Amino acid sequence: MTCPADGRAFFLLDLMALFHLVDFQTPYEYLGHQHPQKALHMCGIIGYIGQKNCVPIILEGLRRLEYRGYDSAGIALVSKDSLSVEKKAGKVSELAKHLGNGSSTLSGSLGMGHTRWATHGAPNDVNAHPDWDAQKKIAIIHNGIIENYLSIKTKLLREGHVFHTDTDTEVLAHLIQSMYERGNDLSTAVRLALSEVDGTYGLVVMSVHEPDKFIVARKGSPLLIGVGDGENYVASDASAIVSHTRHVVYLEDGEVAVVTKDNIETTTIDALKVHKTVEEVTLELSQIERGGYDHFMLKEINEQPETIRNAMRGRLLVDEGNVKLGGLQNMMGRLLSARRIVITACGTSWHAGLVGEYMLEQIAKIPTEVEYASEFRYRNPLMNIDDVVLLISQSGETADTLAALREAKGKGSTVLGIVNVVGSTIARESDGGVYIHAGPEIGVASTKAFTSQLTVLALITLMLARARGMSQEDGIVLAKEIASLPDKVQHILKNTDQIKAIAEKYKNAKNFLYLGRGANFPVALEGALKLKEISYIHAEGYPAAEMKHGPIALIDENMPVVVIVPRDGIYDKVISNIQEVKARKGRIIAIANEDDTEIANMAEHVIRIPRTYGFFGPILNIIPLQLLSYYMAVARGTNVDQPRNLAKSVTVE
Ligand code: G6P
């Protein structure tokens, strides 16, 4: 296997991420990867072909993929000319239990496993993947959505096919079977079937007809092949296989590969040969393990001093009062002539964008707007070629954010990304951007990615402010303040006992209100989101002054109200809002500065935070709110890292 620009670019990206030399790779190498975005699953894929018994390898891989969010899991093996499939609704542990927890008689050296997040058909045992064809000779696992599955199904029903699930994936299995029965070999049957499909897929097919291979294909949903010695792996995500091999081949959209234990042959869907390079994954195993913490979320909260430092390492030039961001260097002209910056994102990343709006407008004096990506993509926004659109995404794969990117690009705007996952689709399709270098974020509720996104937004702001005339003296003051943030976060993280006690006290509350003003209004939104996500307590974030237009009706002695009240220019205004809550007997939990001597008279609990420059305050103020939601969830016994109904990477519309 030799080859193309794609491969080299990936490798470079990883190296660059490792050494923090530059940010996004020049985008133009990636233009060939563009494809219309459709909705995708967020499911996980793992497969093994070689000499070993694949069952433990697949179960381990499925466990490593759990962080993606899923509602059922399954495994299929080809051995002794028969196909065995076992699948269960619920967690991978249910599947492992069903298989006899290690005492399984199931064994074979060609097999694959899947974690499914339901789209077509309820999350139950039957609809879980793998699916199979009418003869149960061909098995398939599939991330993505076959959009024209109904018309294909109607045609196959007419030909006499009988379906046993509600999934779009089963239809594809039957379509492959029908192509195979016309005298094609397995890989041709898969390619022909895919040429009839409208939709997205990362998929793996295996069959008792040709029991020495996988056929894998990708369009719009990531897929890679792990290269071993006399064995090969397939996965939707390197974390599933990195304990076995670091050598991988990334499949690109429109590619199909035949994977045997000793060989990988890649073609396009039209059977044109494609040369691929084997690349090295830099992900460390310890990075995707819990490292002694009870939950990934707690580990990730505690990593923040380091991850914030990583976000600024090699970029923040304190003595010069300036910032150097390699991935934006070629974009400076466009950024400086931009009429406005439009930030678009989803979830926590959108909250980071709202804080970014304050930073960019107030410090760099650039008009900035923030919009949910899911709204931006469909409202046909009026865009200009001198607009810069900034996409923020931890995963770099969120379907709505990616669609917003393509919408903006289609309208001629410059698109830039602030992304965590190196080489992800948003990173690759952006005109430039900045990696946040937070490392893998496994807990579904985003924590360290948020503070790293804010740090990068602060860096971009300082860089633009200086380029637009801010003095070096002022630049140095801001740069020093940014540099001091990791130590301040470390200091806040020591305060867990107080926060644990507060969580214990309010763990049975039915509702929570979070209030903040200015740049801390998005912190209120993010604090409320964290609580909702993992403790399932209803929580609302509000701009403190807006409370009197509605939420004040909810306040009584049972309502905990978290107020972010740093000693800034609007301190007195927030204090007035606190008085309004207090007058209605609300229970005030204040996030306040260490030197605030007045607040203790008004609040039932005061969580102390070191001072910083106002617009950087959110990076500190969110930390106790992350801890509060974490300890509330632990006190309530919920599944902290994999909250119900949520997924880490929402690659579905
Ligand atoms: C999901 C996750 C959130 C995340 C959001 C946006 O809802 O559970 O934690 O903030 O997607 O994801 P992104 O990867 O684009 O930042």
Which helix (H) or strand (E) segment is 388 a member of? strand 387-393
Choosing from 348, 425, 435, 441 the residue with most ligand 1 atoms within 8 A of its CB, the one to mutate for a pocket test is 348
Backbone angles phi, psi at 13, to 5 degrees: -60, -45
510 a catalytic residue: no
Select which of 43, 54, 448, 488 is catalytic: 43
Question: Is the domain of 394 the same as that of 261?
Answer: no
| Cβ neighbours, 10 Å, residue 117 | 22
If one compares 232 and 127, the residue with the highest pLDDT of the two is 232
CATH code for position 244: 3.60.20.10
Same domain (yes/no): 373, 468: yes
Q: How far apart are CA 374 and CA 400, in angstroms?
A: 5
pLDDT at 18: 31
Ligand 1 binding pocket includes 626 (Cβ within 6 Å): no
| Amino acid identity at 269 | I
Q: Which atom of ligand 1 is nearest to the CA of 647?
A: 8
Query: Virtual CA dihedral for 339, 340, 342, 348, nearest 10 degrees?
Result: 160
- Cα distance between residue 593 and residue 185, in whole Å: 69
Q: Is the CB of 535 within 6 Å of ligand 1?
A: no
Q: What order do you get walking across the sheet with 201-207 strand by strand?
A: 131-132, 138-143, 201-207, 214-219, 255-259, 264-268, 273-274
Q: What per-residue confidence (pLDDT) applies to 177?
A: 97
Cα distance between residue 205 and residue 190, in whole Å = 8
3-state DSSP: the chain helix, strand, coil percent, rounded to 5? 40, 20, 35
Please identify, among 228, 246, 281, the residue that sits at the C-terminal boundary of a domain: 281
User: Distance from the CA of 520 to the center of ligand 1, in angstroms?
Assistant: 20
Q: Quick check: bond before 130 cis, omega within 30?
A: yes
Q: Which positions ≥6 away from 206 have C-beta within 8 Å?
A: 47, 76, 78, 110, 111, 112, 138, 139, 213, 214, 215
- CATH number of 588's domain: 3.40.50.10490
Residue 448 lies in a domain: yes
Q: DSSP letters of 201-236?
A: EEEEEEESSSTT-EEEEEEBS--EEEE-SS-EEEES
Least confident of 5-14, 112-121, 163-172, 497-506: 5-14
- On whether both 233 and 371 belong to a single domain, the answer is no
pLDDT at 560 over 60: yes
Contacts of 478 (CB under 8 A, 6+ apart): 321, 363, 458, 462, 465, 613
Q: What is the mean pLDDT of the chain?
A: 89
Residue 20 has pLDDT above 60, yes or no: no
435 pLDDT above the threshold of 50: yes
Whether 403 is in the pocket of ligand 1, judged by its Cβ within 6 Å, is no
343-368 confidence digits (pLDDT tens): 999 999 999 999 999 999 999 999 99
> What's the CA gap between 227 and 224, in Å, rounded?
10
Q: Which of 237, 255, 281 is the last residue of a domain?
A: 281
Confidence at residue 24, expressed as pLDDT on a 0 to 100 scale: 52
Does residue 444 sit in the same domain as residue 500?
no
Round to whole Å and give the CA distance between 218 and 158: 29
- What separation in Å is there between the alpha carbon of 186 and the centre of ligand 1? 37
Instruction: Tell me which of 88, 137, 488, 648 is the catalytic residue.
Output: 648
Ligand 1 centroid – CA 390 distance (Å) = 16
Longest dimension (CA), the chain: 82
256 within domain boundaries: yes
Does the CB atom of residue 401 touch ligand 1 within 6 A? yes
Is pLDDT larger for residue 12 or for residue 62? 62
Does the Cβ of 642 fall within 6 Å of ligand 1? no
In SS3 terms, 481-530 reads as: HHHHHHHHHHHHHCCHHHHHHHHHHHCCCCEEEEEECHHHHHHHHHHHHH
- Give the Å distance between the CA of 370 and the centre of ligand 1: 16
CA of 450 to the centre of ligand 1 (A): 10
Q: What residue numbers bound the domain in which 185 lies?
A: 44-281
Are residues 559 and 534 both part of a single domain? yes
Determine the distance separating the centroid of ligand 1 and the alpha carbon of 347, expressed in angstroms. Answer: 5
171-225 confidence digits (pLDDT tens): 999 999 999 999 999 999 999 999 999 988 999 999 999 999 999 999 988 899 9
Q: Is 453 in the pocket of ligand 1 (CB under 6 A)?
A: no
Kindly state whether residue 6 falls inside one of the protein's structural domains: no
Within 536-639, strands assigned E span 538-543, 560-565, 587-593, 605-609
Q: Which amino acid is at 196?
A: E
pLDDT for the residue numbered 29: 24
**291: confidence class by pLDDT, cuts 50, 70, 90:** low
State pTM to two decimals.
0.72
Neighbours of 143 (CB within 10 A): 31
Does ligand 1 come within 6 angstroms of the Cβ of 143?
Answer: no
Active site residue 43: yes
State whether the beta carbon of 419 lies less than 6 angstroms from ligand 1: no
Are both 407 and 535 inside the same structural domain?
Answer: no
| Residue 11 counted as domain residue | no
Between β-strands 340-345 and 368-372, what pairing exists: parallel, antiparallel or unpaired? parallel
Residues 598 and 519 in one domain: yes
The last residue of one of the domains, among 260, 281, 302, is 281
Residues 6+ apart with CB under 8 A from 74: 85, 86, 87, 88, 95, 113, 114, 116, 128, 129, 130, 141
Give the tens place of pLDDT for each residue, 249-269: 999 999 999 999 999 999 999
pLDDT score of 287: 66
Q: How many domains does the chain have?
A: 3
Could you tell me the distance, in angstroms and rounded to a whole number, from the CA of residue 130 to the centre of ligand 1?
27
Q: How far apart (Å, rounded) are the C-alpha atoms in residues 424 and 91?
A: 26
Pick from 63-77, 122-136, 300-314, 594-608: least confident: 63-77
Pocket test for ligand 1, best of 650, 651, 652, 653 (most atoms within 8 A of CB): 650
Residue 389 Cβ contacting ligand 1 at under 6 Å: no
